[in-house]
């Protein structure tokens, strides 16, 4: 059996052809493929606007800037996420306030969130993370956010295609812009849609859309309605301190082609998850079962076991390469230096002690999955 990673991209021959076509064209960057990808992505996700950027971290940075994060402001996020979800606040000079996760869903705990909001002032927004692909209940979160006048930046990197049905029977797709002010996605190869590096911001808010467009390209505009002077056809103005966070056209072409099989990939992920769920039903393994009305996008398939390190090593010795998602962000030395410490978030920390992400990706074969399942069960039986 060849090595089995925890996640990997699915690149088809058609995907490759789409990239080559752009390489032979006039535009490698700033060409027509960008807006084509943005329109197609917005349609897939269900949002009004989409802005392609160079990676998910750039998407977070531009979002935090557009939302006005600055020194003196506090923003809440989960400690069980990739560090970038928190770092974007620091890029803008703001302070990160972590909030513990719910032990069952590993999503931000809304009760604890409320108690933080009651105690602390100067909180401007919240960055919920659809961790592993499990959508955060943004209907409930929006109510809390409105009460405290907060914006919501949804980190949807794990959940393109995921959704939930709210109490009024409305389908809420991850990143669709109906409840969060902004949402962000990543196209890193382990995520659902791969462009090498790449990211996307979605929103229904025109003001934020326009602001982010400007910030993506150095804060420079050529829009004659906005120019304060005009010297001729070459003339442009820099209105804000922006960045070069653009995606290239050949990456966008890959993204467009990837989108055509994104729904199939999602179905395959959900099928693999179902098979793991069934296989581990009677084993001493804790799994995360989404609540009714929640469509989990399964970027990750996570089990929680008592002997995680041994299982990790045992699987690796069998050429299966699981991963741990995530080391709690508040325990990173950088955040410890800012005052966070072990013991701050018991649910997040206990989850971290036991969690292990098993391989899940569209091209994982039934045979490979069976081998993974049997290896995990054999370990549990024998407790190596």
Ligand X SMILES: *Cc1c(COP(=O)(O)O)cnc(C)c1O
Site for ligand X in 100-129 (CB under 6 A): 129
Question: CB of 266: closest distance to ligand X in angstroms?
Answer: 16
Binding segment (CB under 6 A) for ligand X, from list 52-60, 213-221, 248-256, 264-272 = 52-60
Q: According to CB under 6 A, which one of 9, 85, 258, 375 is a site residue for ligand X?
A: 85
Q: According to CB under 6 A, which one of 84, 132, 153, 311 is a site residue for ligand X?
A: 84
Binding segment (CB under 6 A) for ligand X, from list 55-63, 119-127, 132-140, 234-242 = 55-63
Binding segment (CB under 6 A) for ligand X, from list 12-20, 32-40, 76-84, 310-318 = 76-84
From residue 141 to residue 180, the character string flagging contacts with ligand X as x (rule: CB under 6 A) and all else as - is: --------------x-xx----------------------
Q: Which two tokens stand for residue 12?
A: 């088809």
Binding segment (CB under 6 A) for ligand X, from list 77-85, 172-180, 262-270, 340-348 = 77-85
Q: According to CB under 6 A, which one of 7, 56, 161, 162 is a site residue for ligand X?
A: 56
Question: CB of 255: closest distance to ligand X in angstroms?
Answer: 12
Question: CB of 199: closest distance to ligand X in angstroms?
Answer: 5
Question: CB of 309: closest distance to ligand X in angstroms?
Answer: 23
CA distances to 7, 185, 192, 193 from 3, in Å: 12, 28, 20, 22
Question: CB of 2: closest distance to ligand X in angstroms?
Answer: 25
Residue 196 neighbours by CB distance under 10 Å: 16
| Closer Cβ to ligand X, 102 or 210, answer by number | 102
Question: CB of 323: closest distance to ligand X in angstroms?
Answer: 12
- The three state secondary structure string of 21-50 is HHHCCCCCECCHHHHHHHHHHHHHHCCCEE
Site for ligand X in 315-344 (CB under 6 A): none
Site for ligand X in 188-207 (CB under 6 A): 188, 199
Binding segment (CB under 6 A) for ligand X, from list 16-24, 49-57, 135-143, 216-224 = 49-57
Relative to beta strand 123-127, strand 151-155 is parallel
Question: CB of 338: closest distance to ligand X in angstroms?
Answer: 19
Helix (H, G, I), strand (E, B), or coil: what is residue 216?
helix
Binding segment (CB under 6 A) for ligand X, from list 4-12, 78-86, 163-171, 173-181 = 78-86
Question: CB of 94: closest distance to ligand X in angstroms?
Answer: 17
Question: CB of 13: closest distance to ligand X in angstroms?
Answer: 25
Q: According to CB under 6 A, which one of 6, 44, 82, 250 is a site residue for ligand X?
A: 82
Given a contact cutoff of 8 angstroms between Cβ atoms, the answer to whether 154 and 174 are in contact is: yes
Given a contact cutoff of 8 angstroms between Cβ atoms, the answer to whether 125 and 148 are in contact is: no
Q: Which residue is nearest to ligand X (CB)?
A: 56
Torsions phi, psi for 277 (to 5 deg): -50, -50
Binding segment (CB under 6 A) for ligand X, from list 82-90, 159-167, 247-255, 308-316 = 82-90
Provide the H-helix boundaries in 158-248. 206-216
CA distances to 32, 167, 203, 223, 289 from 292, in Å: 41, 11, 26, 48, 9
Write b or e for each residue in 158-175: b if 16 or more Cβ atoms lie within 10 A of its Cβ, otherwise e: bbbbbbbebeeeeebbbb
Residue whose tokens read 């960055």: 127
Residue whose tokens read 């906005």: 226
Q: According to CB under 6 A, which one of 73, 78, 186, 195 is a site residue for ligand X?
A: 186
Given a contact cutoff of 8 angstroms between Cβ atoms, the answer to whether 42 and 196 are in contact is: no
- Closest C-alpha to 97, from 327, 326, 330: 330
- Closest C-alpha to 217, from 234, 183, 240: 240
Residue whose tokens read 């009714």: 292
Residue 268 touches ligand X, criterion: CB under 6 A = no
**Exposed (0-12), middle (13-18) or buried (19+): which is 343, by Cβ within 10 Å?**
exposed
CA distances to 17, 58, 71, 180, 225 from 91, in Å: 38, 11, 10, 21, 31
Residues near ligand X (CB under 6 A): 55-57, 81-82, 84-85, 129, 155, 157-158, 186, 188, 199
């Amino acid at each position: 059996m060849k090595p089995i990673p925890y996640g990997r991209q699915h690149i088809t021959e058609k995907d490759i052809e789409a990239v080559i076509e752009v390489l032979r064209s006039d535009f490698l960057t700033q060409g027509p493929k960008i807006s084509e990808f943005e329109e197609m992505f917005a349609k897939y996700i269900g949002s009004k606007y989409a802005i392609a950027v160079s990676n998910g971290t750039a998407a977070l940075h531009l979002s935090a800037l557009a939302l006005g994060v600055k020194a003196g402001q506090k923003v809440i996020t989960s400690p069980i996420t990739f560090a970038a979800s928190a770092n974007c606040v620091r890029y803008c000079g703001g302070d990160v306030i972590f909030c513990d996760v719910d032990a069952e869903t590993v999503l931000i705990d809304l009760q604890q969130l409320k108690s933080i909001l009651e105690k602390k002032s100067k909180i401007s927004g919240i960055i919920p993370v659809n961790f592993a692909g499990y959508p955060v209940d943004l209907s409930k979160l929006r109510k809390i956010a409105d009460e405290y006048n907060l914006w919501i930046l949804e980190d949807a990197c794990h959940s393109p295609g995921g959704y939930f049905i709210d109490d009024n029977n409305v389908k809420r797709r991850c990143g669709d812009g109906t409840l969060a002010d902004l949402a962000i996605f990543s196209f890193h190869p382990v995520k659902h849609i791969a462009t090498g590096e790449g990211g996307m911001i979605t929103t229904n808010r025109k003001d934020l859309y326009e602001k982010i467009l400007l910030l993506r390209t150095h804060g420079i505009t050529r829009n004659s309605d906005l120019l304060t002077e005009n010297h001729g056809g070459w003339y442009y103005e820099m209105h804000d301190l922006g960045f070069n966070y653009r995606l290239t056209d050949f990456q966008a072409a890959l993204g467009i082609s990837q989108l055509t099989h994104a729904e199939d990939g999602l179905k395959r992920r959900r099928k693999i998850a179902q098979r793991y769920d069934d296989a581990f039903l009677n084993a001493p393994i804790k799994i995360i079962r989404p609540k009714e009305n929640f469509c989990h996008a399964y970027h990750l398939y996570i089990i929680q076991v008592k002997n995680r390190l041994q299982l990790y090593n045992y699987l690796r010795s069998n050429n299966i390469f699981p991963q741990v998602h995530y080391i709690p962000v508040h325990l990173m030395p950088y955040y410890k230096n800012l005052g966070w410490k072990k013991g701050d978030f018991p649910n997040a920390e206990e989850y971290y002690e036991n969690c292990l992400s098993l391989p899940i990706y569209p091209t994982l074969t039934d045979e490979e999955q069976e081998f993974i399942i049997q290896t995990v069960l054999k370990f549990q039986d024998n407790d190596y």
